[in-house]
Amino acid sequence: MLTARNLTVHLGHRQILHGVDFTAKAGEVTAIVGPNGSGKTTLLRAITGDVGYTGDARIEGLDVARAKPWELAARRGVLSQFTGVAFPFTVAEIVRLGQSNGISGGGPDLGERALARVGLSGFGHRPYHDLSGGEQQRTQLARVLAQVWDPTGKDGANWLILDEPVASLDIAHQLEVMTLARDFALSGGGVVAVMHDLNLTAMFAQSVALMAEGRVVTQGDIGHVFTDENLSAAYACDLKVNTAPANATYILPHAASA
């Protein structure tokens, strides 16, 4: 289990998180949704140890604030919203960074297996900077996957922590990435993902935390969280659950598959 209790974060003179409580269970995809500036990414950065906080955050019982960097790296792989690469690495070299930080260790073919899992088989020799934005994002996902390749370890579940993992992807690759996340969870791992697409969230998440103004407004299953009242209040606009806009083109991927 991954838990946060009374999590508070200040960045400079601004308070970003206000006593947040949050729970994610292994075996599930837990999505964090909410408007821009609601604190979703800051919550992820706190529970992964990338920003200081007060309160308590634990991953499988591991105290995030007190854990050694290698202990955290062995337990969770983090896909950030923006990942800059300054050096002329190949795709394979990027993925091997995940192997060197995680517990998967050797496995000479693991990098290629991870690339195949994100639809980039045969891309290993290519320069990272020659890839499209979507291909770079999937390369970074392969790196994270190589870091925590096995969903479970001897001390409990391993975790994928994903910040907007489908932001720059076309619809087919969005489905592919979310299917990967779901399969990781179904195999016993844990997944926490910041999401903006509420339809994809409804398709793949078993639990949802809705954030607004640095707080978790509510958390639970889709039916509990995705109501007209909850979403309209959080996003400050009128939203109707499961109602298509009148006289508008409306694309629903519910019948599609990866």
Residue 257 pLDDT level (bands cut at 50, 70, 90): low
In a domain, 61, yes or no: yes
- Tokens 């607004």 locate to 212
pLDDT single digits (tens) 2-47: 999 999 999 999 999 999 999 999 999 999 999 999 999 999 999 9
In a domain, 19, yes or no: yes
Q: Which domain holds residue 134?
A: 84-146
Comparison of pLDDT for 243 and 172, the residue scoring more: 172
Which spans in the chain are helix H?
40-47, 69-75, 91-101, 110-117, 133-147, 171-186, 198-204, 222-225, 228-235
Average pLDDT over residues 163-189: 95
Comparison of pLDDT for 101 and 64, the residue scoring more: 64
In a domain, 72, yes or no: no
Give pTM, 2 decimals.
0.91
Domain shared by 215 and 160, yes or no:
yes
Average pLDDT over residues 94-112: 75
Spatial contact of 138 and 120, defined as CB atoms under 8 Å apart: yes
Domain shared by 61 and 10, yes or no:
yes
Domain shared by 114 and 58, yes or no:
no
Domain shared by 135 and 214, yes or no:
no
Say what angle helices 110-117 and 91-101 make with each other, to 10 degrees: 110
Which CATH number belongs to the domain containing residue 171 in this structure?
Answer: 3.40.50.300
In a domain, 251, yes or no: no
Q: How does 93-106 read in b/e, with b if 16+ C-beta sit within 10 Å?
A: bbbbbbbebbbbee
Using alpha carbons only, give the angle 154, 3, 53 rounded to the nearest 5 degrees. 115
Domain shared by 124 and 45, yes or no:
no
- Quick one: pLDDT at residue 147? 92
Spatial contact of 60 and 45, defined as CB atoms under 8 Å apart: no
Neighbouring CB atoms inside 10 A of 126's CB total 15
d(CA 11, CA 42): 10
Positive or negative, the CA dihedral 89, 92, 98, 101 is: negative
In a domain, 176, yes or no: yes
Which stretch of 27-41, 100-114, 153-167 has the lowest confidence by average pLDDT?
100-114
pLDDT single digits (tens) 44-71: 999 999 999 999 999 999 999 999 999 9
Closest C-alpha among 51, 63, 76 to residue 5 = 63
Domain shared by 128 and 174, yes or no:
no
- Tokens 């519910």 locate to 254
- Quick one: pLDDT at residue 84? 77
What is the total count of domains within the chain? Answer: 2
In a domain, 60, yes or no: yes
Domain shared by 221 and 163, yes or no:
yes
pLDDT single digits (tens) 121-143: 999 999 999 999 999 999 999 99
- Quick one: pLDDT at residue 129? 93
Say what angle helices 133-147 and 91-101 make with each other, to 10 degrees: 30
Residue 255 pLDDT level (bands cut at 50, 70, 90): low
Q: Is 180 exposed, middle or buried (0-12, 13-18, 19+ CB in 10 A)?
A: buried
- Quick one: pLDDT at residue 86? 77
Residue 106 pLDDT level (bands cut at 50, 70, 90): low
